[in-house]
Structure formats: C-alpha cells, structure tokens
Structure 1
Amino acid sequence: MSFDATHGEHLAHGSVFAGYRIDRVLRRIATGTTYRATPVDHGPPASDSPASDSPAPGSRAAAPPGSGSPPPVVLTVVDAEHSADARFRQWFSRSNESARATTHPAIARVVGHGLADGHLWVATAPVPGHDAAALVHHHPDGIDVDRAVVIVRAVGEALDAAHLRRLVHSGLVTSDIFIHTDADPGPADLRPPGVVTLGGFGLTPPPQDEDTPHPDTDVAGLGRVLVELLTGTTSVARHRVSGAVSPAFYAVLARALDPGPEQRYRTCAEFARAAELALHLTHTDGEPPTDVMPSPSPHGALARVPDSDAHAAGSPAPRVFGTAGHPGRPAGPVAGPVWSQGGSSIPRSRKAWLVPLFVAAVVVAVCVGAVMLVGSRNAPAPWPPAVSHIADAFPRLIPASPDATGWRDATCAAVSRDGVDGISCTDPENLTYAVWHTAPPGAQQKVTAPLKGYPGDEITWRDGPASASRESVKDGWLVTNFSAPVHVPYTVITTWPDHSGREILDAWWRTAPLG
C-alpha cells in the first residue's frame, strides 16, 4: 500500500505495510509517522508471549510456532522524500543496525527495519507506559527537579553507551523517551536499569557534508530535553526553571547548548552530573524568605518601635525584598518588636542568632580554606608547558592532567618526535591517538613519515582535511587536520595494530570529540 506522508497522508487502520497490520497512529515526526502495529500472524493462536529472538535485519518480527498472537510493535514509516535520499537511507540503515546490535537496557530493541513501497521503516519493541512528551503535556509548567534529573541521567547513560558503539541519536526529543510506568513517574518509580527506553535512532538526517553527526549534538539535545521537563517548553529565554535554583544551573545549561561544539560537555553523563549538582545546590520548596524593612526612625537614635506604630499614618509603607533583592509580595505582620537606629532595623528575634550564625560562617570559611589548601597540595601534576596547550585545545579528547584518562578511558603521556611535541593516548583496545603540535615548518612531515602508504585516501569532513590508509595496509592509520583557527596548529594521528584505516574511521573517528 502506497502513501505520501509529506502531504499529510498516513496508513489507515487495518491496512498492512511491510508485514505489519496498522492499529493506530501514535505520533507524527519530522521525517514520517509512528504507528502501533501488529505483525501479520500466520501461525496458530496460543498463549500471548513475546518472541525471544530478534529477526534478521530488514525483516519483520515473527512469533515462533505455537507462541500465539505476535506482540505489537512501534512502527515508524519514513516519508517518501527522505526515503529516496541515498545519504539518509545509508544513515538510517547504519543507525538501526547499530541500535539492533546494542543490548543496553535503556535503548529500544529494534525488531526489524527495511524498505517497502518506497518507504524506509523500522519496528521496535513497545514499552508499557508513556513517553516524556505526554508527561510534559500533563505538567505544562514542568515537573519537579528530582524527576527530571532521574530521567535525564538514565537517558544520558544510554546515549553515552550508544556513542561507544558509534551510534549517535542527533534528534533527541521528549517523544523519544519512554517511561516504564503507567503512573505519573516520581523518583522512586525510576530506577536503572531499564527505567526509560530511548528510541528514534536514525530518524534525523545528519548535517550536510557529514556522514555521521557528532556526539556533542546529543549533549545539546539532552540539555533541551531537561529544559522542557523543567519548564514545559524548550524556550530558555521566555521561561525560568521552576523553584529556586542557583545561577550555576544556567551556566551548566549554557555550556551544554553552546554553539561551539568544542565548548560543550564531553559526555552526556558529565552534563547530567553537572546539572544535577547545580539544580540541587540551592533548590528549595516554596517561596524564598523575605525581609521586612520598616521606615527609618524620625529620631535617628535607638528607639523602640511598637508593632502597632510600625506603619503609622503618614509614614512610608515598608518595602518587601526577596532573596534576590527585588521588591516582592507583602510578607505580613512582623512578629515581635523592631529595633531601629539611623534607618537600619533588626528584629529582636534575629539578633539572638546573628552571633552564632557569624561564628558558624567563620568556621565554614576556615574549613573550606583548609580543604582548598590540602586539595591544592594534592592536585594532580599538570602537563608540561611544552604540551599543555595541546590538552587545552582538545579538552574532550585529552585529560586535564597526565594522571587522568582521556577519551574512551585512554591513558596519555607527553611525547616528542624529532623535536615535535605531542600527547599520545592509548585506549583499552590498544588504539593509539596522538595529537602533535605541527605548526612549525616541516613538523607535519616528521610525524607522518613513519606511516606506511601516506597520504592514503583523502576524507572530507566539516572541520578540515583528513586521510586514511588503504585496505592493503595491515596496521592502519588515520591522519586528521583542521581548518578552525584553534585547531589549525595540530595534527591527530590514530593507529590501531591489525586494523585497517577504514576500521579506525568507523570504530573511533566518527564519534571521537575532535571538533
């Protein structure tokens, strides 16, 4: 059965497409339509039990003989325009193959994908519950911080796991996040693993001139999802996050959404941890406390002002200030007498705890200073001056100090070759990447000289020229250069014994934080 989703058409209830009978429309997406569907059952009815094995790529899910009615699926059908795009078709197939091979409990299980009647399609196992978009719909002013943090943390862990398998989502929205509960989810209802299921891989076209989106797009997408969960909208400018939060949260959010990818967090988990800390730093329930500031005493000397005379006729009304120092709502009557001197006033009830509060503040300051002093003494040794600028230029690829680990848990050290300085890192799979400072004349020739078959095959990507060894080279290599001013002085050389340049390209380069 043919149709054109780009013109608002969709599959009718009861129609069969790619071996699935359409039950109902679930949602419209930018590239097509998502349905609840049931595999066409050719076997004898029996008990309702889900199939345990996934079908081969491109085929529909089939129930084993005697298993009864096959379980329903979530079927997404891509519109004709995107299905006809060869670049999108390749991205769609590769993403869903990677998702199908991923066993992370929070990533939707792909039971089939393919092409039928000129339309790409993918079927995933359904999730009992509702998606995060429905949660936002029922809470238009946003959900509480604890719920949002639990959801974002689980989604961030799933995205980071996907990135390790060279799988990037690129188009994360709340409708891609399914929550495993029929009730309104609270923190106690969301315990990993499997508290949420993330779907929608391969449904957002990658940027122009790129075969694969960079993982930092998922960091920004997770930031937008967090804003929507907290405010009911993705507009940061028009809505403040509900509750009292510190300015640190806005700094965390600004970094996650920074237009410059190199400024964003290196991983989704890193963003989730920073956001959680900032949100809970000053988060309180209810209104912030207020201070009542009555008018100055007309005598200018220490005088007792009875409660009944605090707002005598003809005297200015007191101003009410919130914790930010802006006029707020009236705070009601003041308990106890107010003492005033020269225009300043301090309620007697507050004088009793000002001294111990001051002492406590001094103690805290001393403790914090001691911790900072001890921490500075125990701080890890920095990179040598000759290579520290390399670590600064690639903060998501190289650790801040030699004692820490880099991208994909790589151990790193300062190196030098024929007078060219660099930092070399080796990950647990024995893949080595070295960032060399090749600004001096002839430096690049020195670091590429040991590479067999250099310059190999040229590669075009968004941030500059690159080249990979040909298939005939057993111990493959990949050389990456840059066009952005901050990275122009550097060359990244990646090697992997017993692996081809193409394997390095697919397994490491496509998701490495190079930009």
Structure 2
Amino acid sequence: MPQYPGVPQYQGAPQGPGAPQYQGAPQFPGPPQHPGGAPYPPPRGSSGGRIAALVIIPLVLLLVIGVGVVVAVLLNGKAHNGSPWNPEEQLIADAFPRLVSAGNGGKGWGGTTCSGFLTNTDYGERGTLACKNETGKVSFVMRHCRTQSCVDSRMGVSKSDPGTRMSHPDVPRPLLVTDSSGTPADPPIFIGFPDDPKRSLYIVEADYEGQSFGRGGKTAADLLREWFPTAPLGP
C-alpha cells in the first residue's frame, strides 16, 4: 500500500508577551431596567397623532355635510325657478317680473306654477304664459299681442263697449278691466295697460281655477276685491 506523508501539524497562536492580543465581540447594554430589575415596557406612539385624528375627522365630516347642503340648496333653487323661457315667453316674464316665475315650471305669485301656454296666432298673439293654481284659487294668463286689434279682440272691447277704467296701487296709470261679456260681471276678468307705452300690447286674464263664466260661486266682483288690489301688476 502506498504511504502518504502525514498531515502537517499547525502550531497554536503565538504566546508570550509580544504576541498580538484580540478582543472578543463588542458588548451592548441591555434594555433599561426598573429599580427592581424588571425591564421597562417598549415605548408607545405619541398621543399627538391620535389628537390630530380626533380633530381632522370631524372637520372632514363637517365639510362633506356642508357640500351636501350647498348642493341641495342649489338644486332646490333650480327647481323653484324652473328652466329658461323661450325668447317670446321671456318678454312676458320681463313685463311682469313679480307676477311670473323666473323660469318655465317655476313658482309664480300667489302659489301658482307658471309655464308656457298655447299661443293663438289667429288672434295675433306673440306669446302666452299661464300661472296655474289649486282649485278654487286664482290662476292667471298673460298674453302678448302684436297689434292693438289683438288686444281689443281678446278683451272684448269696442267703441260701444269700451270696458272700465280702474286704478291699481302698483300701477301709476289707470288700467282697463273687462270680463268676457265686456263688463266686470262674471269671471274671467281681463286687464289691459292702455296708458303704458311698454306694456300696452299685454293682457292679464284672471279667473278662479276650476270654474269659468261665473260657474262656481265666485264672481268678477270677488276677483276685483280679493285678487286685483294685491296682485303685483307693476313692472
């Protein structure tokens, strides 16, 4: 069998006064100890973050609620005012701004709901608006004519039956008032503005909703006493 040389032998680290000295692994202090020897619990997060959260979260909630209220108010305002009138209807709304709503489908004076109405071009009308009320309460229609003959025809006036001149607290000049037969007897009543250069071609027709031509117990005299003096007929 072949013989192999023996494994070389290594000597230990040099010993003696001149030999280099090596230190062991560095030692780190342990966790702080209570006086009794038990370690302190680990530190907790600061309370500042919790306080900030308690302040910020309610503010965010208030902001969200506030935005919701503003949106609701805007939507309610839009529903109250209605959608825009067409150009001919807008002329009527501008002539009676306190009587008619700001837009189609909005709320007019006296709890009415105003909207566009059938315009009878055979009479020479340019536009018509109607403000309807509950049954038994006063509804009214505003008509804008192209000519004076349209006004006379709608109001039923003529040289022999000129209607009645009446004063109104909201209008500086006397108004012309008729009913369907030419005199203030049975509703509906018709109101003209013959002395107003800007509104001489406009007519307001008023009646109790749900009745016509005196059927229903109310008369033109009731309209003139209850509705006419307080209606905002001025510009």
TM-score normalized with structure 2 length:
0.48
Larger of the two Rg values belongs to structure: 2
